[in-house]
Amino acid sequence: MSVPTTSGRPVVTRIAPSPTGSMHIGTARTALFNWLYARHTGGKFLLRIEDTDRERSTEGAVQVIFEGLKWLGLEADEPAVFQFARADRHREVVEALLARGEAYRDYMTSEELEAERERARAEGRVVRSPWRDAAAADAPDRPFAVRLKSPLSGETLIADQVKGEVRFQNSQLDDLILLRSDGNPTYNLAVVVDDYDMGVTHVIRGDDHLNNAARQTLIYQAMDWATPVWAHLPLIHGPDGAKLSKRHGAQAVGEFADMGYLPEAMRNYLAKLGWGHGDDEIFSDEQAISWFDIKDVVGAPARLDWAKLNHLNNHYIRQTDAPRLTQLVAGIHKSRDWKLRDGDLPLLERTIPLVRDGAKTLLELADSTVFVLKARPLELPEKAQAMLTEETRGRLSRLRDRIAANEAWEVPGLEAEIRAFAESEGVGIGKFGPALRAVLSGGSPAPDLAGALVSLGKHESLARLDDVLSPAP
Ligand code: GLU
């Protein structure tokens, strides 16, 4: 059931990114909170591409946003709205504001504006245009901007769901430009018109837009439109508490994907950045949806914590079924130019459950499966060669014959076999284990001995041993 807003309408939230060529995790978190709130209330989650900066808004940059949201599993409920394409509608609202007497044409030249700025600064007030109260008949024949006729006194109250009540003195707000003298609508105007037309009931976004909320409220009021509920989210900071920057590592959604984080781990992690449900660290989308309320978002900046993210990612890697992990890992191998052969996928699928427990990322998981993909005969690193003394070779050869008789080829049976073998030889596993592992893996990371044997399968395991113990002439 959808929960109506104070104005009685069902909840509509939106994410409104400006294409920049990458999708910041702050944007991802904002998208997630909007998505969670829409799902929690049975409402809708929409996407608007704020593409009025024509140079930056290339097709590729727009694609990055679609792909980022898709990867995160936060796709919008309706096709995206493109802001630039709506410029005529924005101009129409400017006309309406002029007709209502809520806006005026400002004919100040740039020199006049500069001089007024100087005066305003010296007098400690905001810029005021002499055209605010001029008679229409006085209008000169030259380009003009359109400004909002903002109230000169009183205050604008933003009852923010996260920040609490934030008050702005109207005398501190100049008459906002709605339309530039080149005919282009301004950002704040476009946002209000688009949010209104899209039926947005809750504006949940970064707190760098809190000041805009005051400006935008004045436009809503001038049009007699109900204002949305505001919720301004604190920024995400680096682990050291400083504003997130390059030196803290990855910042873009695509980078997290490339580093091998799972989208569900990312969702769980981002949900915890500024919101939480008691001490719960790990929760499903369903739980987050049922628990999430915008009022519970904390006002203080959230700090990125790599250890927590890694912990969550490891959890989700362990939860994910082998076929999906296999596809993901195969993708990583391919991107690293491994030529996967027929039969490599089942091999990976058999190996992954044996190696995934320690993997913090999919890259680590991929690393720990490289050993099964290697083609025979394996190149052994020098360290491994040095381990293969006569004595060790003899021992591995006896072990080989012993396990060759093992039919089931399963981890517990092989473990027992190896233990029994060590006992029968009167040595610890440490005497031959490292050499066996090196022969099986060629020095790459690999699971425990029995795990490595099971991953490779009986035929390949014995063949790798034979390559070393009785090499073909
Ligand atoms: N386009 C703005 C941004 O990317 C968001 C504006 C809004 O959410 O109102 O920061």
Map out the domains of the chain as residue ranges: 12-82+235-306, 84-233, 321-373, 382-469
Closest protein CA for atom 3 of ligand 1: 17
Give yes or no for residue 17 CB within 6 A of ligand 1.
yes
Q: What are phi and psi of 105, to 5 degrees?
A: -85, 130
Instruction: Confirm if 371 and 352 have CB atoms less than 8 A apart.
Output: no
Q: In a 3-state reduction of DSSP, which class is residue 292?
A: coil
CA distance 90 to 59: 23
Question: Of 204, 205, 191, 252, whose CA–CA distance to 64 is shortest?
Answer: 252
pLDDT band at 470 (very low <50, low <70, confident <90, very high): confident
Give yes or no for residue 26 CB within 6 A of ligand 1.
no
Closest protein CA for atom 6 of ligand 1: 16
**What local confidence, expressed as pLDDT, does residue 301 receive?**
86
Question: Of 408, 409, 412, 338, whose CA–CA distance to 369 is shortest?
Answer: 338
Q: Which of 70, 163, 243, 246 is catalytic?
A: 246
1-5, 325-329, 404-408 — which is least confidently predicted? 1-5
CA distance 285 to 295: 19
User: What average pLDDT does the segment 229-258 reach?
Assistant: 90
For the beta carbon of residue 52, count every other beta carbon within 10 angstroms: 19
How far is residue 405 from each of residues 402, 420, 464, 469, 471, measured CA to CA in Å?
6, 14, 16, 18, 21
What is the bridge-based pairing of β-strands 202-206 and 229-233?
A: parallel
CA distance 173 to 255: 40
pLDDT in tens, 109-150: 999 999 999 999 999 999 999 999 998 778 899 999 999 999
Å from CA of 16 to ligand 1 middle: 5
Question: Of 175, 184, 182, whose CA–CA distance to 90 is shortest?
Answer: 184
Question: Which tokens go with 80?
Answer: 């995206």
Atom of ligand 1 nearest to the CA of 14: 8
The length of the chain, given as a count of residues: 473
Identical fold at 84-233 and 382-469? no
Four-residue CA torsion sign, 292, 294, 295, 296:
positive
User: DSSP H helical segments within 252-321, as ranges?
Assistant: 253-258, 263-271, 285-291, 306-319
Instruction: Confirm if 42 and 2 have CB atoms less than 8 A apart.
Output: yes
pLDDT band at 7 (very low <50, low <70, confident <90, very high): low
Question: Which tokens go with 208?
Answer: 């760098």
* For residue 59, pLDDT beyond 90: yes
* For residue 6, pLDDT beyond 80: no
Site to probe by mutation for ligand 1, drawn from 32, 50, 83, 227 as the one with most ligand atoms within 8 Å of Cβ, is 50
Fold annotation for 12-82+235-306: Rossmann fold (3.40.50)
Atom of ligand 1 nearest to the CA of 30: 8
DSSP letters spanning 87-111 = HHHHHHHHHHHHHTTSEEEE---HH
CA distance 7 to 15: 21
Give yes or no for residue 228 CB within 6 A of ligand 1.
no
Number of H helices, E strands in the chain: 20, 12
**What local confidence, expressed as pLDDT, does residue 215 receive?**
97
CA distance 15 to 205: 8
User: What average pLDDT does the segment 182-195 reach?
Assistant: 97
Give yes or no for residue 209 CB within 6 A of ligand 1.
yes
Å from CA of 14 to ligand 1 middle: 10
Looking at the structure, give the CATH architecture of the domain made up of residues 382-469. Answer: Orthogonal Bundle (1.10)
Q: In a 3-state reduction of DSSP, which class is residue 467?
A: helix
**What local confidence, expressed as pLDDT, does residue 472 receive?**
67
Give yes or no for residue 18 CB within 6 A of ligand 1.
yes
pLDDT band at 1 (very low <50, low <70, confident <90, very high): very low
For the beta carbon of residue 374, count every other beta carbon within 10 angstroms: 18
User: What average pLDDT does the segment 27-46 reach?
Assistant: 97
Site to probe by mutation for ligand 1, drawn from 13, 15, 18, 20 as the one with most ligand atoms within 8 Å of Cβ, is 18
> For the chain, how far is it from start to end, CA to CA, in angstroms?
75
Q: What are phi and psi of 50, to 5 degrees?
A: -90, 85
* For residue 3, pLDDT beyond 70: no
Instruction: Confirm if 49 and 65 have CB atoms less than 8 A apart.
Output: yes
Looking at the structure, give the CATH architecture of the domain made up of residues 84-233. Answer: 3-Layer(aba) Sandwich (3.40)
Atom of ligand 1 nearest to the CA of 50: 1
Q: What percent of the chain has pLDDT over 70?
A: 98
Closest protein CA for atom 5 of ligand 1: 16
User: What average pLDDT does the segment 319-331 reach?
Assistant: 97
Residue 339 among the catalytic residues? no
How far is residue 247 from each of residues 200, 226, 240, 243, measured CA to CA in Å?
36, 43, 11, 10
pLDDT in tens, 279-310: 999 999 999 999 999 999 998 888 889 999 99
Question: Which tokens go with 409?
Answer: 């080829």
Atom of ligand 1 nearest to the CA of 205: 8
Å from CA of 178 to ligand 1 middle: 17
